[in-house]
């Protein structure tokens, strides 16, 4: 099978790390009022920041976060096993923004450092569903409802990786960890 996989909040704990850095930014660069609305998805809402602050925060810390973010549990072993079993792994990440100079290089360096195996990396491109279609993905895994919706419209099976901000959605099969994904893929082949 050819499996397309998102990176941030699918194999990496990106939002968790961004939240930690937002707390630091708030203290160092803002007045340090702390979190004002913990349920707000956007940082200028969660914190007492303007849209400009939010962009400045990303500009200040995004690269550092993406270079150092932790891999989720079981990812390294499950991906390795899936490749050994003949599956093709394609990581596909958008990671847009002026603050990232070379999205491909940053992503490749991180995957290699973390010992995450892959067959191909597509980085810095918003057109995930076009790639999913033209590369004939058999399965696509992402935490973004928007991406899952667009890819499933191409007739491709999708798994929605569980995050606290996509829990209202009931449209897709939800997976909570990489052991569960491994089992799902095995059941698919039966
Ligand atoms: Mg993501």
From ligand 1's centre to the CA of 94, what distance in Å?
8
Listed in order, strand segments (DSSP E) in 6-133 are: 88-93, 120-123
For residue 116, how many other CB atoms are within 10 A of its CB? Answer: 19
Inform me whether the pLDDT recorded for 132 exceeds 90: yes
From ligand 1's centre to the CA of 163, what distance in Å?
10
From ligand 1's centre to the CA of 112, what distance in Å?
19
Phi-psi region of 155 (alpha: psi -120 to 50; beta: other; left: phi over 0): left
pLDDT of residue 69: 97
From ligand 1's centre to the CA of 19, what distance in Å?
15
From ligand 1's centre to the CA of 84, what distance in Å?
25
For domain 2-12+70-188, the CATH superfamily is HAD superfamily/HAD-like (3.40.50.1000)
What number is the average pLDDT over the span 8-20?
A: 96
57-116 tens-digit pLDDT: 999 999 999 999 999 999 999 999 999 999 999 999 998 767 898 999 999 999 999 999
Gap between the Cα atoms of 163 and 180, Å rounded: 15
Predicted confidence band of residue 190 (pLDDT cuts 50, 70, 90) = low
In the chain, what are the domain boundaries?
2-12+70-188, 14-68
The pLDDT mean for the chain works out to 95
From ligand 1's centre to the CA of 92, what distance in Å?
10
From ligand 1's centre to the CA of 61, what distance in Å?
17
pTM above 0.85, yes or no: yes
For residue 112, how many other CB atoms are within 10 A of its CB? Answer: 11
Inform me whether the pLDDT recorded for 147 exceeds 80: yes
């Amino acid at each position: 099978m050819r499996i397309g996989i998102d990176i941030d909040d699918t194999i990496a704990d990106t939002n968790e790390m961004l939240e930690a850095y937002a707390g630091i930014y708030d203290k160092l660069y803002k007045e340090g009022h702390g979190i004002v609305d913990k349920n707000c998805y956007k940082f200028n809402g969660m914190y007492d920041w303007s849209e400009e602050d939010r962009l400045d925060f990303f500009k200040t810390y995004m690269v550092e976060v993406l270079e150092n973010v932790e891999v989720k549990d079981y990812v390294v072993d499950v991906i390795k096993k899936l490749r050994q079993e003949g599956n093709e792994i394609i990581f596909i990440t958008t990671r847009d923004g002026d603050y990232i100079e070379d999205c491909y290089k940053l992503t490749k360096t991180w995957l290699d450092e973390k010992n995450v195996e892959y067959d191909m990396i597509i980085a810095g491109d918003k057109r995930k569903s076009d790639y999913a279609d033209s590369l004939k993905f058999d399965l696509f895994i992402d935490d973004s409802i928007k991406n899952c919706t667009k890819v499933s419209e191409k007739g491709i099976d999708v798994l929605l990786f569980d995050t606290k901000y996509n829990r209202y959605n009931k449209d897709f099969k939800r997976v909570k960890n990489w052991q569960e994904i491994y089992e799902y893929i095995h059941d698919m082949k039966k």
